[in-house]
Structure 1
């Protein structure tokens, strides 16, 4: 799920920062060449990305033609590939689709200069996430932080409680109970949108089972009846199963869509004190409420469980190349550089895993903290599990993970039934 984040918070003009390893040169040797790029972005996000492309054109002389395809990007790309007119570069949000393109030979492994830039500017996990069959195909240009819990300071004040930023799951539950005891539902849960429940599960599972088991479950190398799944569901049930903690109880949560879960917390008066979801919550707060991010609205990292290290579930847009001409390769190299990300970072609505981007490039402290959390997690970053699984299991409304976890929210005592339902759906979806 992708939403604009804190778009347009600042219109600071940012001069190009010092070049990182492997950056495109500035000799304008590519004048007269054109690079054709397809992405999901439209509207304000497209404006921001086109500023990045303009910076590349000014630097190299190459022209870039951008097309926004929205959620239809996989279909548009497949149609163009089948018709023999592939783009030069596509920015895809589904690693499974990128893997499919790599397997078919539609996209090219990156060259040495691009791989060197990725090695220099990203933690190793991002190289792993962009690789298929041990060859690097993708550059993660824009990422999301899906391990954040957002709170309304005024809701805590109304409950006569100090603002808590619990570092552990046990303290998070204790804070939630204190809010409930004071008459304020702790958490608004968007149970009507099954994808939010997959994100809840993924964050708890990553912290209870660890990154290696997360990878195995994602690939269905261990079953959904494994004990590690039971442990994670039991922890979730401590929250989902306590009607006092969840705004509207389970039945109310199952009728709450994502945007409503945010406005439940940040409208005046608020109906709950906290909401879990990714950094894009900030965009909904800014566009749909009068609450100001960084003042009355803040966030804290998803709490640790059983002493787990800092971890982040992420999503992101990965650039892959269908052509290997000089201009296309140079743009891929540019997208892997700190310089390119700094252009968009200045405008807000953007996070990067590129460790070369200076903190001052971000327009405010909240956005910088969101990006820093990703960097601090290092190799404990994992891509959204539901986006990595077959769509029939991880991305279909009323089926697979979405349906099983909605049923679990409705009755969190049914842990065994939930595990068996997940395994049955996975067994069907993962068949060749």
Structure 2
């Protein structure tokens, strides 16, 4: 049986969350690590000495940021199924997701659990490059056929080794309540002009057009991302995230200008509001729309026992006809093996199970907002949100992982503060100043 401990009850130094950006890793630490990023991978392919513990009957500890009630239940189901399949006991050490991510570096450098929840792409590569994660090439030899080349790439470090077993992804989209749109005769906008016009109409009708919160800092990064990809395209996004395009570029200014156009129709006081409270405004039909991930909004409906069947979404409207609605953020989450794991063989057995269709199906029986990544996965329990998520992600020509995963953690942190300052003052003159600040910080971080 999996043992699930309540948040904060473990005494473990771990802390993590879906995001809130590695606040524990400052720019100086990142600069020091960045200079030897590839060099840090040296020796990462060496095999750890064989675990002397037998696999069956032994115990693996799992550091988890799945602290919200809904995801915590889904994760407990997954680990219970893993125990049944492998005979390995799993002890889950759950920590509040924001705290988890804030302290992730010190956690991995200290006495971490055998396994830990984390994110694909740059987030995974960063800790792999620091030598804080164990390669999983032997696990991928067994599960590789279950995943697409894209999923494997997202799980691969800078040294070419795999370090993560993915479990799901989810789209960032515009949510609304079907009953409210039907009652008010609203139509789904597919262009920017239609989106702005709908927001204006909602404001006239006495409801908040766009529910929004940014006290956590990261939600606003999603708005920047989608505007950037709609206006400038996916390649521009990836180059900007790696500072191959300067933050003072006109394309960035255009992103902020479009954002400023819809701010009058966005829920006020965003910098002092949690995203859960913004979602509640949508649930209560006080707001007409909300742009955020299904991993948050749909999960919040489930947690609050709101009418999930009334919830629907549409992809963010097109702005530049050249790109249409070709791109979106669709972050991938998964699991990693600590370099300091005490029960490596048993931990790998758990990961080998997690990387299968039955494992993803088990997780998704409880999870009503994410979608699995195994090839050809058939999940009878998928609801309308999940079925539509699969379809919309598949339509994309490329998907981004979100600014705080696609860029250097210090840069993402810098952009949190910049976006919050923009929300307080979206004037053109302030946008220019904020761009200059972003570029100055980027030069220091990426040098």
Q: Indicate the residue corresponding to 1:385 in structure 2.
A: 403
The question of whether the paired residues in 1 share the 8 Å contact of 2:186 and 2:198 is answered with no
The question of whether the paired residues in 2 share the 8 Å contact of 1:144 and 1:316 is answered with yes
The question of whether the paired residues in 2 share the 8 Å contact of 1:32 and 1:63 is answered with yes
Indicate whether 1:66 and 2:82 are aligned. no
User: 1:350 and 1:266 mapped to 2: Cα distance?
Assistant: 16
User: 1:122 and 1:166 mapped to 2: Cα distance?
Assistant: 34
Q: Equivalences for 1:33-72 in 2 at 5 Å?
A: 33-42=58-67, 43-71=69-97, 72=99
Indicate whether 1:368 and 2:394 are aligned. no
1:253-296 deviation digits (Å, cap 9, x = unpaired): 455442332233332xx4331121111112333444x751222x
Q: Indicate the residue corresponding to 1:229 in structure 2.
A: 252
Q: Indicate the residue corresponding to 2:421 in structure 1.
A: 407
The question of whether the paired residues in 2 share the 8 Å contact of 1:205 and 1:229 is answered with yes
Q: Indicate the residue corresponding to 1:15 in structure 2.
A: none
Gaps spanning 5+ residues in structure 2: where? 1-16, 20-53
Q: Indicate the residue corresponding to 2:336 in structure 1.
A: 320
Q: What TM-score, normalized to structure 2?
A: 0.75
Q: Equivalences for 1:324-343 in 2 at 5 Å?
A: 325-343=344-362
The question of whether the paired residues in 2 share the 8 Å contact of 1:353 and 1:375 is answered with no
1:101 deviation in Å? 2.8
User: 1:325 and 1:388 mapped to 2: Cα distance?
Assistant: 29
The question of whether the paired residues in 1 share the 8 Å contact of 2:56 and 2:346 is answered with no
Choose which of 149, 154, 165 in structure 2 pairs with 1:124.
149
Indicate whether 1:266 and 2:283 are aligned. yes
1:14-47 deviation digits (Å, cap 9, x = unpaired): xxxxxxxxxxxxxxx9423433322212455333
The question of whether the paired residues in 2 share the 8 Å contact of 1:282 and 1:293 is answered with yes
Would the alpha carbon gap of residues 258 and 57 (structure 1) be closer, same or farther in structure 2, given more than 3 Å must change? closer
Would the alpha carbon gap of residues 47 and 298 (structure 1) be closer, same or farther in structure 2, given more than 3 Å must change? closer
1:219 deviation in Å? 1.6
What is the aligned residue count? Answer: 386
1:97-151 deviation digits (Å, cap 9, x = unpaired): 5334312323222225515634x34343332222221332112223332x21111
Q: Indicate the residue corresponding to 1:167 in structure 2.
A: 190
User: 2:101 and 2:214 mapped to 1: Cα distance?
Assistant: 27
Q: Indicate the residue corresponding to 1:200 in structure 2.
A: 223
Gaps spanning 5+ residues in structure 1: where? 4-28
1:405 deviation in Å? 1.7
Choose which of 266, 275, 280 in structure 2 pairs with 1:246.
266
